[in-house]
Every structure is written in C-alpha cells, then in structure tokens.
A and B are shown apart, each in its own frame.
Chain A
Amino acid sequence: MKLIMSVILVMTPFLSFSQMLIQGRVMDEQNKAIPFAKIKIMGENEGATANENGEFSINVEEEDTLKITMSGYMDKLIPVRGRSDWNIALTSSINELDEVVVTALGLKRNKRDLGYAVQTLDGKEVTQVRHPNLINSLAGRVAGVQTTNGSSGVGSSSRIVIRGETSLSGNNQPLFVVDGVPVSNEFVANNTENLETGFHEVDYGNGMGNFSSDDIKSISVLKGPSAAALYGSRAAGGVIVIETKEGRATEGVGVSVNSSVTMEQIAFLPEFQNVYGQGSGGVFAYEDGLGGGTGDGGLVSFGPQMNGQLITQYDGPSYDQAGNPVRGGDVIARQGNPITPTPWVANPDNVRGFFETGVTSQHNIAFAGANDDGSFRLSYTRMDHEGTIPNTDYRRNNLSFTGTYDLSNRLSVRAFGTFINSNSDHRPGLGYGSENVMYSFLWMGRQVNLDAAENYWQEGQQGFQQFNYNTQWLDNPFFNVYENRNGFNKNRLLGNAVLSYKITEDLKLRFRSGVDTYNDLRTSRRAFSTQRFPNGAYREDDVSFTEINTDVLLSYDKEISDKWNFNAAVGANNFTQQTRYKSLTAGQLSVPGIYNFENSKVALEASQFNAQRQINSIYGLSGVNFDRFIFLDVTLRNDWSTTLPVENNSFAYYSVNAAIVFSEKIDLPEWFNYGKLRLSSSSVGADTDPFQLRNTYQFNQNYGSYPLLTNSSTLLNQNLRPERINGLETGLEMYFFDEQLGLDVTVYQNTAKDQIISLPTSSASGYSSQIVNGGVIQSRGIEIMLTGDVVRTENFTWKAFANFSKGASFVQELPEGIDQYTTGFARLYTTAENTIFYIANAQEGGRVGDMYGTGFQKTEDGRIIYGDNGLPLRDNELRYLGNYNPDFILGVGNSFEYKGVELNFLLDWRHGGVVVSRTRAVGSTSGVLAETLEGREDGIVGDGVVNVGTEENPIYEENTTVVSAAEYYNQFYNRANEESSTYDASYLKIRQVGISYTFPDKLTKKMGVQEFKIGFIARNLFTWTENPHFDPELSAMQGTSQVFGVEDLSYPSTRSFGMNVQFNF
C-alpha cells in the first residue's frame, strides 16, 4: 500500500526531482540473467530494454518508480528512491508455479503446494474475447472441461461438465463459488411437458450467464472431488472458483472502460434442395392452405419441379368482394375468388433471408481506487443483444461494488455486491413443434417466397387471423416471432461480506456471509389463430430463489522452523436455499392483443411449487509442509442435510492430498527445471433434491366443481442414503528448458456409489419411475496440459497451450435385480415410438451416455429388410445408436505478440460421439433437404433384401421394387426411426481469433489515457463436421430439462465478428 502511495506521490506535479542514471541487471530467481526485459518509468513515456545479459541503464528522477515487465514473469514495480545500482529478480509466471490460487473455502494457496489439479484463468483471458456467457470462456481453455450451448443464441444456457458425467441423475454441473460463497447456476425451466399442445420449451438461461466477465479477476477450476471435499455435496461435479476484482491504486484517475460490439451471422443452415416445390406426386395448387387446393394442406416438397410454370400460390394476386387486390392467402377476404397463377420458382434463400445479423454490444466502465486502509471498485456493465432470429433479444445490466477496508490492524472487512437485471422481450421457442420456426422451415415448400409472409395478418383480420403459406399446421415464422413472445425480466442480487480478525499473528478468525437472491418473471403471449392457441393465450411464470451461505473459520498458520510449516483450520457453514415457482395460464382470451389475466375467457390454470433445503456443516483441515519439498493436506467435513431421512442425514467427507516437489531433492539435468508429483484421495458425499422421500398426490384440473387428484408417476423412497463419490488422482507437473515448456499430466478415477437416481420402471407397476440408491459408476480419464513459450525475444513472443482430455464413465454395478439401467429418455412429444433411451448396461461395458432407439429390420449380415411394397421394415427392438459423449477433446491456443500487436486463436477439436438429428428426420420426410433429390423422377429401389420365405425360415432376395421417392423417404426417415438420423458428432472448430493493438504510451499519454487497446475478434469462425445441416455442439431442451445426443430442430448457431476497445485513465 505504501508503494502505491508513493506512486501517487510521484505524480504530484508540485514536487520536482533531480535526474540520475541508474544501472541494473534483471535476473530470475536462480540469479540467471533474463534478457530483453522492458524497463519503463511509471507515468512517463520513457523506458529501456535490457540486453541479452539482462543489463540495462536508464535516466530517471530519483523519486521515479520503475516497472519491469517481461513475458513469462510477473511485473515488478521498483521505487528508485535515489538508489543507482540494482539487481532485480523477477518471479516467473509462465508456469503459474508460484501463482496464488484460490482453493476450498476461499483459502489462498500457492499452486506449488497443491496435491491436486487446478487450472486457473485470469480475468484478462476471459475478457480478451468476451463471451456473453461466462461459461463459454472456459471452452477449449481448460483440460477436462466440456461445454455445450443452448441453441437459442446469446442468453441461452451453457452447460459445463468437468471430467465427464459421474452422476446418472444427469446434473453433473460443477458448483460455482464467488469470493468463497456458492452462488446459483440453476437452470429453472418453465413447467412445460413436451406435448403436441400448449407452450413450447424456452431457454431462459443458466445462472452464471448473468455474470459480467469484467468483474472477474480470476477463475480457478478445481476438477476432482478432492478439490471439492471441503465444499460439500454440491461440489461433486467439481468447483469453479471465481474471484471478483478489487480496487487498486493506479497511476491515473482509476477509470477503465472496456467496450465491444460484435455482429452475429448464422453459421449453419440445413442444406436444402431447390428443385422441387411443395405438393405430392408432382402436383400442387394453392387455394386455402387447408387442403382446399391440391396438396396445399400438406407440408411436403414432392411437388412440381420449379421451372417457372404458372401455379396458384399463397402470395399470388387475387381480389376481395369489392374488387380490391388481396393475396391468395387472404382467404377470408378473398371469399373464394380465384388466385392468378404465378411463376413456380425456387426461393433458395427463403430460410436464410429470414435470419438477421445479430448485434451484441457489451460496455463496461469501472472506477477503482485504493489507499493504505482500503480499496473500492464500482463497475457497471451493460449488454445489449439482438439475435439472428428476428425480434429476439437479451439485455443485461450489472452494477457491482467491491470494497475492502482495514478497520484496525487486526480487523478487516471486504464486501462485494452486484445487482443484475437481465431481460428480454422475446426468447425463441425450442423443441419440436409449431412454436419453433425451424419446424415451419423444415415443413415449408421450397417454392415459398417468404418475404410475402412478413405482412403476417390476413387482409382485414388484424389481430384475429394470421396469413401463412400453410394454415393447417404451421405458424407464419414472422407472426411467431413478432406476436408470440416469450419475455422475461430477472432481477438478481448477489453479495457477500467477509469480516477477518487477526487474533494473533498466526491465528485468524473469519466470518463470512453471502446471499444470492433473484426473481424471474416470465411472460408468454400467444395471439389469436396461433396453431397451438386458436383463441390466444397468456401465461406468467414466476420464479423466486434465495440462497444464503454463512460460515465461520478459525485458522492457524505457523512456521515452526526453517523447514517446517504447519497450518490448520476449523469451521462451520450453514446453507439454506428456497425456491418458489408459480405459473398461471389463461388458455383462451376474450379480446385479441390484451395480455392480462382479466382478459381470460376460461378459468385460469395454476401450477405452484415451493421448496426449501438446508445443510449444516462442520469441517477442518490441516496441512504440513516440509522444506517446500513435501506438502501434505488432510481435510474432513460433515454435513447434515434436510433432504435425506433423519436417520441417514449425516454424512462425512475426507481428502488427503500430497505434493512432492522432487526437483528440489533429485539431481535433474539442467533443462529439467521443476518436477512435482501429486497424489490425492478423497471421498465425498451428496444429498438429494427436496421432497424425494414421501409420495404426494398431484392436483389435476377440476372437472366442473369436482376437484381431481391423481398419483404421481414417481415412487419416492423413505430409505435414501447419501451418495458417495470416491476419487483417486495422481499427476505429474514438470517444466523444462528455462521453464519455457510445461507439461502437466493427470490421471483420475472417480467411483460413484449409492447414487440417488430416478430409475424408470415398468409403468404397469403403478409408477413409471422410482427414486433409488443404486449403481456404481466409475469415471476414468487422463488430462494433459502442455504450455510453452515457443519464442521469447525482445520484440516477439509466441505462447501456445494445448489441453487434451479423454475420459469415460462406465457402469460397474447396478441395483439388485436389474440388468440394465434406463437413466432417461428424449422423445418427440409423448409418443413412445420416437424415443431415444439412455441406457447404462453393466454387462457389456456400458457407458454413461449410451443411446438406444429403434431402427430397421435387418438380416444377420446387416442388410435392411424390405416389405413386398418396396419400403424398409422397421422393428420395435431397441438397438445401440452410439454414445453422445466425445472420445476425446483437444483445445489448442496460440498467441503471438509483436510490438503491441497481439494475435491469438483457439481451436477446439471434439472427437467421437453421435447425435440423433430430428432436422434430418423431418427434413427428409418432408423432402426439403438436398439429399432427398435422389430418385425423384424414376423412383427408388431401396438397398436391401426382401424375405420371400417365411418368418421362421427366411429366404432373402434382393429388393427390386421401385417406390416413389416420397414414400421411400417418408418411411426411411420416419421420425420413429432413430437409426437413420444418426450422425457422428465430431467437430473441429476455430473457436476464436482475436487481434489487438496496444497503442504506444507516447500517443496515449497525450490523450491522458494510461492504456489504450483496440482489438478485433471473431468467434466460432469455422466448424468442420460430418453433417451439413446443424452445429453438433448444441444441446436440446425437452420438457423441463436439457437433453443430450439429440438435435431437436436446433436453431442455426452463429459466428460473430466484432471489435473491442479498452482504455484506462
């Protein structure tokens, strides 16, 4: 702090100082010279560069402060104070060895001391190419981390899984901790049921998507259960520890600005055919879009070839009773008057043209300052996003404050608070059905001129009847996005306060409390004539959430001798969480356009769910360190959770971690700079969700004045035990060649037992699932991180990193009496024929993420069996489709720096896994996809055989029956036939490219600016993958949960280009 004060003093213009020449040498910790370090006088534009021997000289004033910078080392500030001869030792930072990382309970530890794997990103890395959702910043940058995005663009949910899926119940999300206090990353979906009627799923985003990257100082990823052993049950999937920025004393007035604007364009679209238009059997004529013409109620594109011939169309000219011109689709006004046929031509860009260029702007301004006693930082971030889907948007305002103050030399306080408002007028509907515009496109005739649909009310029917190319099944896409909105407004307050008291120099007491509370009001409007709501509808979903964490910690840290260091701490934590969910629906409205419950034509439908949980904990930890050679840590924790039965509600955790820095004691070759062996063993417990113990009846909608109640579909369990995950981990961390090359290899094994899962059962048993403890799932994997300073010269540096991870989770044991484990399913509406089952099979090395579905009847040598009618035969037998998890993930990053110009790029390669595509199934059935062009004129003879024998004694002959393309594709890509719509999900992405320029001080000084940086960024630049239709990285949403391995008419993912401006003054 004194240093900072002196820096401030330096700037005081009233004082004058005398000039002097100083000489010096820049060295590393081993007293070896560091060549080409930069020496700069703070507040001045002058500086010098050390020579190859690390020596430098520079003219200064005696009260100047020098800043020594060198890539790979931490910056160092030196107040000159008249001294002329300097040996300056820099601490290396490239290998992060001496980096201080934040570990369990917010304890700061030297990374060197840790016996388990931690990977840390500093805030700079996160803000370099700011992702709107914080979670995406981690993609490709951290080994063992896999992210998946929701498909509705900025503001949708991003899921992160660390070290694969250990839990069968499907959550597997890590715990997020801000300044030592857990915060919510909940994904609370509206209560929708994935039905053919009612509201579609909408992704309102996950909790961490609310955070502003500009407020983040660092993100540490604690991967294994041992790292999590002190955080309790919710940390079973790992922990992501976030530190918020604090105020610092700076040379300038302490204001920083960071602004970026990016443009998003759709990066993927299904590959459409543009030869045949709507209709069947080569004929089509529009009359009313309801079957009144020829095939105009139908949806498929097996109609006439588009050669410019004249055919009546929905946008063709007609006239009303008064003779005024109207469009063909103005069916009500037209009253049967004829439509003038218009040229039947392809509109190859009708879908592409619907999408717009999205714009995302993010602006942050932060004020910071500090003095001897304290610091503050006040920061405001605003994000505005307009999506590629018209009328979709997302806005966010973050106002944050961090303050620290030393009340006395024993007592200090730190507080952080942030208020976040996020809102949107419209989030697009997801899932299968008419509220997803992709559904309207995959069932849209290829001749449709979509521009004509922009004026989406029928003539004279404003508010009552939409205008569309198909009136029977589809909503006009423009009508859909402009009238049928899913808005939300979420206010969130998140904060924590820490009070630290130094009882003695070695003994400290810390009291900390954090709160995370939000209210999210979601409004869904549906206009009259919506397919799913002919009389319109209005719905509100109100989500309230509050989580409070309070803890105390008494810690002791003592240097016993030169070589021995001992520390210990004991603490206690109380955690409470409250969720309130309420939904009201007016299923029909009286007056169009008025979205208010008073306008309801029918009784309101209500749904409500309130829950709370509480966990009390005590814990202790102790560490011993001998001579910076051996580090040993032991932790213990016990939890009492309200969600478990009283007799089983107490469960313990432990972890033992050891780090051996063998390079300290073993004589290694000179190029071998550092070596550490890590060993860790842990056992953590986990509770469950509230209300999993005793069954209740469910309310059904009344019949007249008769109330109805019925059984729930899940049998709960009063004898649940806590889950248990045992982790083993070992790692080797090494640095070579002047620490220019770093290698970190970790292997791990996590064994999860007694998992609390909802196990599907035969619904004939009275329940279609039961809550049980069961199964043993073992995850094993390897993570390799490679970091390197490839080139390090005076003007040019090239840094590179690679993160590789490979892992899988296997089913080792199943609950008694069960040979395979159906952990869940993804289906189309509620129809069982269109179901993908997630089945874990213990016998045959089943993995978590294995998917099963139905497919074709096949001969023993794998040929498809056709019926006499020339169409492939399906059967109902479930067969293995593939696993949705990748075999391995590789992230590679490079950054180059040359005289203030910095270029970085990040590649992400995900190899293996499959995805079942509904876009493929629907688009092939409907004949809009390019691959359905084959066989249009001459028909198709399916490749396979026909059984000319009996069922018992089959005799197979080559299939020779010709069928029409429409019939063939309709049956081959039947939505129930998952096998034919399965793609390899592997991809290679150029995830981001950034180029930035930091203006020389000479220029910026004149503007009164301390630092001025401008950058250009591109995200999601290219993707190489097998399928031509969609981005395999996106997840789908069905009912109230996200599902994996299924592409459910996903929206096109986007690539974005933008600009970033950052300055401090």
Chain B
Amino acid sequence: MIRIITTLIIVTALFSCQKFDEANINQNAPEDVNPQFLLSNVLAEGADNQAYWGWHAGNLLSQHSANLEFLPVDRYNLGSNEGLWTETYRLMKDLQDVKVSEDGNDAYDAVADILTAHQASLITDLWTNVPYTEALQAEEGNFTPVFDAQEDIYTSIGGILDLLENAVITLQNTQESVQGDLMYQGDLNKWIMFANSLRVRYLVRISDKVNVSTELQQIVDDGNIFQSVADEAVVPYLSASPNQWVIFNEREGRYVDVRMSKTAEDILTPLNDPRMQHYYKPTANSAGGSEVYLGIPNGLSRESQNNYDLNDVSLMGSYLRDEPDAVKAAFMTYAELQFCLAEAAQKGLISGSVTNYYEAGIQGSFDHLGLTIPTGYLTQANVILDGTNDLERIMTQKWIASFMNGYEAWFDFRRTGFPDLPMPQDNLNNDIFPVRYAYPSSEQAVNGSNYSDAVNAIGGDDYNSPGWWEN
C-alpha cells in the first residue's frame, strides 16, 4: 500500500511540475505586433471619433443640430468627456509604438507623426493646456505628466506644426512604404497632401497670434495639398458590422432626440441650399406633401419645448439613420482646406483669389456629399462674395460644409465668431458660449498637482477659460 501511495505522489509531482515556467505566458494576445495593425487601428478609431463626436457634441456646439433630452452638451452642461480624452491618448500611444517598432521605418514614423499632430490638436483645442511633452512616458516611469501650454503644443519643436513639417520632408525623401493604411492604401503622396493641408488648418487657426503668412504661402506655392475630394482624409463607414455608422443600429431615441436646429433653418433656408434636404428630413407634418424643413432652438428645457410641436421639427437626414455606410468619417476634407485658404486670402495672409478658393470650397462640399450645385447657387446675393461680409460668408459656407466633422465648426466659431450663433435660451452656463470641456476628474484624482497648475494657468477648470489661439 505504501508503494501505491508513493507512486501516486511521484506521478502527481511529475505531472504538476510540467510547464511551470510556461504557465504565465499570455497566449491570448501578442506582446509585439507589426506597426501596420496599430496604424490601421488609429485610422479606424480616430476617424470614427470625428463622426461619433460630430453627432454627439460637435454638431450641437456649432448648432447644426439641437437636442431634446439626453445630450446635456446642448444646454452647455459639457462635462469632461473623459472617454475621448482617454481614447485620444491611447491612440497617441499606439502611434508612439508605431514609431518605436523594430518593424517600422521612416515612412511609418512620418505617417504616425501626422496622425499624432491631429490627435494633439484635437485634445488641446478641447481642453486647452494638456499633457504633451511628458505624455506617454508611463513606460519610463512618469505617470504624472505636466500640462503644456497650448501655444507650445502648437508651435514648439516637436509640436504639432513641427511634426507635420518634418513628416512632409521625410515622406518626400523616403523609399520605404507603409502597410495597413486603410485610408490611402499606402499612397504616401496623399499623406504629404494631408500633412500640408493640416498645416494650413492649424496655421490659419493660430493666425491671430502668430504671423503665419510666409509659411502658408510656401505651402500654397508648393502645391502639395488636397487637389480634390479624391485626396481628402476620410474613412467611410462600411455596410457590414462592426464598421457601420453608429446611429444606424442605435435605439430610436438616440436618433429622434437630435433635431435640425433653428440656426440651421435660419442659415440654410434663405440659401435654397440642397444640402438642407441632405442633412435633414422634412418635418413629419409636411412629409409627402409640400415638404418643409424646420428647426428647434438649441438648449431648450423640456418645458420650453412645449412651445414646439415636434411634428413640425425636422429629424436628421436619412443618410444618418437609414444607411450603415453613407457617412464618411473625416479627419479633414478638401472643402475645409479651400475655406481655410479663402479665409487666409481674405485676410491677406496668402495671395490668390478669395472667390476661387471660396467657390472651390463650396464645390468641394457638394462633391463630398455627392450632390450637384444648383445653377445659380454661387451667384446668389447671399452667397457671392461682394466685399461686404466676405469673412462671414466664407465662415458660413465653411460651417455648412463642416456638418458632422468632429468639432471643427465649433473651433471656427470660437475663433471667428461666425456664423453668428444665438445664445441657447435655457443654457446652464450663465449665458456664456462654452469654449472647452472640463478636465477629466480622474486627472484631479491621479495627477493632482499638475492638474492644479494647469487650472491656474488657464484661469479655472470651467467651460469658459479660453485657449491661447482664441484669446
């Protein structure tokens, strides 16, 4: 009997000692990956963020749409949008890993820098001072990054504009290629155009603070910018899940809770603009008959909404609800570039015809949507640049074109004050247009002293502390 027991013990011991050293190797996921998969991820997730947040916040802040119930942004209860904060830094971490990957090359590096510049601008334009130079250093042991001033994030060495400029130079000289490029299929020329177009966007954005004229003119002269909508930086949604436009498979409430705004009605109706029929649906009461498009003012309390019959308020366009793949999530469109150039030309920052840029922008917007410009649209009295309200008209047309493009129209409004948006009646922000999100409270909890410094630097962690370029 002892022998049996001894044998049992020995057998058990042998059995159990097997694989002891291998038990803790995680077989579920890889420790190292080729950079193409990370690049694909940033493109897919980054583009999705633009459209997702365009619907859920950007469109409301720019008053393309108005909300009835559940998006407190519309009453200027912005909160902190920690989800986007966290996700943006994770995407920037993915891009950092693209750059340090042993399987990478300088083409990957440049593409990663272009996308990093875009993510960095998004985060600083939403929160003002944010961690940048010390960001993404957890692996080196820095878990409490300092917050950098917005000016430095844009203009310093290693900042947004510097990254973009150097990426262009690298891509112009490289023999390498990138994989996993679901936006441009590895066409590095298009990446050069995208980078230069972003430079135009950001140079115009800071043009009230910095003399950007020379640099802008140089970019325009070089001509390596979007030439048509075929070059624009967009990632379309697909017909098959999981790449469908989010509202397509959302509950009814998420769709009907967002409506055409009174602002959109007031801007688009006098223009006889067919984009109105694309962006919105006719009111329920007019459907099937003489179709009308009506909006509801932004930021109404539930009680104030009682003054409106929702059957006389337009829903958002069919392409935003009934089709999984009609939305093209955009980092930057051709139209936006042309409007930036129109603004720059109008302000004398670059030479060239304001009208040409302006009309190319309008054309680009129609092309982006697959619509045709009606004859005579451009020569309408309220469209044509006649020297009186040119900047306002440029910005208004840009506003129409920026529908659903992230927060871009809000950034433009904050900078230029155009179009002239009405103050939402029942806003909860003391009748002030908000200019930023609050910092995520997790930063308070885990990065307290840097958070406090940043709050002091920007003048308070509320929605009303303006950033550097709009101050």
Inter-subunit contact B136/A766 (CB<8 Å) = yes
The interface bits of chain B over 141-182 (1 if a CB of A lies within 8 angstroms of the residue's CB, else 0) are 011110000000000000000000000000000000000101
Q: Which of B109-117, B305-313, B330-338, B383-391 contacts A (4 or more CB under 8 A)?
A: B305-313
- Is the pair B27, A610 in contact by a Cβ cutoff of 8 Å? yes
Which residues from A are CB-within-8-Å of B460?
951
Considering the complex, give the chain B residue whose CB is closest to the CB of A700: B41
* CB of B17 closer than 8 Å to a CB of A: yes
Please state if A832 and B138 are interface contacts (CB–CB under 8 Å). Answer: no
A871 close to chain B: CB less than 8 A: yes
CA of A892 to CA of B131, assembled, Å = 56
Q: Name B250's contact: one of A534, A616, A763, A839 (CB within 8 Å).
A: A534
8 Å CB contact of B310 from A281, A297, A762 = A297
| B89 engages A764 (CB within 8 Å) | yes
- A819 sits at the interface (CB 8 A): yes
- Residue of A532, A646, A767, A825 touching B21 (CB-CB under 8 A): A646
Report B123-150 residues with CB < 8 Å from chain A CB. Answer: 130-131, 135-139, 142-145
- Are the C-beta atoms of B441 and A766 separated by less than 8 Å? no
Taking CB atoms, residues of chain B closer than 8 Å to A185 are none
Is B440 in contact with chain A by the CB < 8 A criterion?
Answer: yes
Which of B27, B33, B83, B130 contacts A697 (CB under 8 A)?
B33
- Shortest B138–chain A CB gap in Å is 4
Please, how many angstroms separate the alpha-carbon atoms of A892 and B28 in the complex? 50
Known pairs A291-B310, A613-B24; A877 contacts B444 (CB<8 A): yes
Residue B182 contacts which of A703, A831, A868 (CB distance < 8 angstroms)? Answer: A703
Stretch from A231-239, A392-400, A710-718 forming part of the interface with B: A710-718
Chain B residue numbers with a CB within 8 Å of A434 are: 251
Q: Flag if A766 contacts B5 (CB, 8 Å).
A: no
How far is it, in angstroms, between the C-alpha of A603 and the C-alpha of B239 when the chains are bound?
Answer: 11
CB-CB under 8 A from B428, the residues of chain A are 867, 869, 871, 971
For A474-489 the 0/1 string (1 means CB < 8 A from B) is: 0000000000000000
| Residue in A302, A533, A614, A762 with the greatest tally of chain B CB atoms within 10 Å | A762
Report whether A694 and B243 are in contact in the complex, using a CB–CB cutoff of 8 Å. no
The answer to whether B13 and A574 have CB atoms under 8 Å apart is: yes
Mark each residue of chain B from 216 to 251: 1 if its CB lies under 8 Å from any CB of chain A, else 0. Answer: 000000000000000000010010111100000111
- Answer yes or no: A822 CB below 8 A from chain B CBs: yes
Q: In the complex, are the beta carbons of A765 and B138 less than 8 A apart?
A: yes
Of the residues B1, B8, B68, contact of A291 by C-beta under 8 Å = B68
**Shortest CB–CB separation between residue B296 and chain A, in angstroms?**
10
Most buried by B among A473, A610, A877: A473
Q: State whether the Cβ of A511 lies closer than 8 Å to any Cβ in chain B.
A: yes
In contact, B439 and A703 (Cβ under 8 angstroms): no
Q: Among residues 261 to 278 in chain A, which have CB atoms less than 8 Å away from a CB atom of chain B?
A: none
Residues of B within 8 A of A (CB-CB), count: 100
A164 at the B interface (CB under 8 A):
no
Please tell me if B16 contacts chain A, counting CB pairs below 8 Å.
Answer: yes
Judge whether B257 is part of the interface by a CB distance below 8 angstroms.
yes
CA distance A567 to B131 in the complex (A): 63
**Which residue of chain A lies nearest to B181 when distances are taken between CB atoms in the complex?**
A706
* Residue from A513, A608, A711, A764 whose CB has the most chain B CB atoms within 10 Å: A764
Alpha-carbon separation in the docked complex, A642 to B17 (Å) = 11
Q: Which residues of B in the span 180-212 have a Cβ within 8 Å of any Cβ on A?
A: 180, 182
A762 touching B143, Cβ below 8 Å: yes
Identify which of residues 412-471 in chain B touch chain A, using a CB-to-CB cut-off of 8 Å.
426, 428, 430, 438-448, 450, 460-462
* Neighbour of B138 across the interface among A407, A761, A868, CB < 8 A: A761
Complex-state Cα separation, A534 to B70, whole angstroms: 19
Contact A762 B37 (CB under 8 A): no
CA distance A612 to B20 in the complex (A): 10
User: Beyond A574-B12, A703-B238, A765-B145, is A511–B444 a contact (Cβ under 8 Å)?
Assistant: no
Docked complex Cα distance between A173 and B402 (Å): 54
For A613, the chain B residues whose CB sits under 8 A away are 23-24
Asked if B30 lies at the interface with its beta carbon under 8 angstroms from chain A, I say: yes
B69 contacts chain A at the CB level, 8 A cutoff:
yes
Interface positions of A from 526 to 580, Cβ below 8 Å from B: 531-535, 550, 552, 572, 574, 576
Complex contact B79–A966 (CB within 8 A): no
Question: Inside 8 A of A407's CB, which chain B residues have their CB?
Answer: 1
Residue pair A832, B81 in contact (C-beta under 8 Å): yes
Determine which of B12, B20, B137 lies in contact with A642 in the assembled complex, contact meaning CB atoms within 8 Å.
Answer: B20
* A643 within 8 A of partner (CB): yes
User: Which of A291, A766, A819, A869 lies in contact with B139, CB distance below 8 A?
Assistant: A766
Q: Are A703 and B135 in contact (CB under 8 A)?
A: no
Within B91-119, the residues touching A (CB, 8 Å) are 91-94, 96-97
- Answer yes or no: A796 CB below 8 A from chain B CBs: no
Contacts of A300 in B (CB 8 A): 302
Taking a contact as CB atoms closer than 8 A, the residue among A408, A601, A876 that contacts B444 in the complex is A876
The residue from A410, A534, A711, A868 contacting B252, defined by CB atoms under 8 A apart: A534
Contact between B79 and A832, CB atoms less than 8 A apart: yes
- B residues within 8 A CB of A31? none
Question: Which A residue's beta carbon lies closest to that of B306?
Answer: A281
A893 CB to closest chain B CB (Å) equals 42
Set of chain B residues within 8 Å of A587, measured between Cβ atoms: 241-242, 249
What are 8 A-B contacts with C-beta separation under 8 Å? A291-B256, A292-B311, A295-B306, A408-B1, A711-B90, A877-B444, A878-B444, A976-B79
State the 3 A-B residue pairs at the shortest beta-carbon distance, nearest first: A832-B82, A602-B241, A281-B303
